[in-house]
Each structure stands twice: as C-alpha cells, then as structure tokens.
Copies of this chain bind each other. A is one copy, B any other.
Amino acid sequence: MKRNIIIHNMKRRTPTTLEYALLGLVHGSPRSGYDLCKVFESTPMAHYSSSPGAIYPALKRLEQAGLLAGTVERADSMRPRKRYSITSEGTATLKSWVSAQVQREDLVWRSGELMLRFSFMGQLVSVDAVRRFLAQLLEAIDEYVEELQTHYHQLSGIELPEHVSPTGRLALKQGIGSFRELRRWARESLEELNPS
C-alpha cells in the first residue's frame, strides 16, 4: 500500500522576490491579478516586476502553496474576476520574511529585496522590530563599506601592473557612495522612528 497521503508533501521552496511582493501587496488589500499588474505598471514597485507573464503564474503558485486564497467574483458574468486574499499562513510567511536577520549577503546581493521588506514592515511588525531591522542594516553597511574601501585603496594606491582605467575607479567610488547614502538614510529613519 503505497498510498501514504502525506499532507506536508508540498515542496515548499522559499518564495521569490516577486512572490513576496505579491504577498505584501495583497496583504495590504485583496486584489485581482489585473490590479496587481497595474500597481507594477504605475508605481515605483515597477522595480520588482514586469509583466502578466510572470505575475499570473506566480499568483497560481502562491494559491497552490496556500499562501493566497482566490475567489472568483462575477462568476456568472462574461467577465469574471479573481480576487486574491492573503491567508493566515501567508501572513506568517511574510512576517518571518521581513523579520529575518539582515545579513551582509542580503545587502550585497539583494538590496532591492531588503527595501521591499522594509516597505512592508510597517504593517506587519512593531516599531521596535523596524528599529532592529535598521540597526542590523547599519551594521552590515559599515562592514561592507569598509570592504569596498579596501578595494578602492588597492586600486588608487600604488600603480598596479594591471592598469585600472579611471572610469573603473570612479565606478567603484559610485558603489561606495551609494552605500554611504543608504547608511545616511538608515540613520535618519532610525531617528524619525524614535519614540522620543
């Protein structure tokens, strides 16, 4: 009898950035796929998606995983519309995502996702948790900026055999500058959130 019905058999990969973005938006208020497409078209959220070709399949995956629940409205009409709401499991997934420790890797590889997490935090966790997030972010930035500066000094210090073009050096400078600005922003935001 191989018919063991395993309930938790769903392969539960961690959601992609797009999937988190969809979860977060639907958490804000229930929406249809079309609504979500328009959000991505018309707001700076555009950074996180693109096209119905990605959004509709992602919504389907989230529904199958039990993180979203879709209900069809106007089923009788010739123009049905499927409105998605977030499930309690979906909310839990979102919460643990935004609450995760900020690692150096997040900053280096997925800084966009970090900001997405931050933008949803306000509706999901306490102000204290938001402050913790920013504090961890500041630590990670400090660490990484120092790394980058080491590289920068290696470039501009001694004449290397392998000559680095001035634009290469300037590009690195830009990278350092952008992380410094991020740090500035994080400090300012911390203050703004202070209960003082």
Contact = CB atoms under 8 A, between A and B. Distances in A.
Contacts of A44: 148, 151, 172, 175
A119 interface: yes
A192 B178 CA distance: 18
B175 A115 contact: yes
A170 B137 CA distance: 15
For chain A, what secondary structure do more than half of its interface residues adopt (helix, strand, loop), or is it mixed?
helix
A34 interface: no
B177 A184 contact: yes
Contacts of A116: 171
A84 to B, nearest CB: 16
Interface stretch (A14-22, A60-68, A74-82, A160-168): A160-168
What is the oligomeric copy number? 2
A166 B148 CA distance: 31
A173 B185 contact: yes
Contacts of A130: 167
Interface stretch (A4-12, A89-97, A120-128): A120-128
Interface of A: 28-29, 43-44, 46-47, 108-109, 115-116, 118-123, 130, 148, 151, 162, 165-168, 170-175, 177-178, 180-182, 184-185, 189, 192-193
Given A47-B109, A122-B166, 20 more contacts: A28-B162, A115-B174, A115-B175, A118-B170, A119-B165, A119-B170, A119-B171, A119-B172, A120-B165, A122-B165, A122-B168, A170-B185, A170-B192, A173-B185, A173-B189, A174-B182, A174-B189, A178-B178, A178-B182, A180-B181
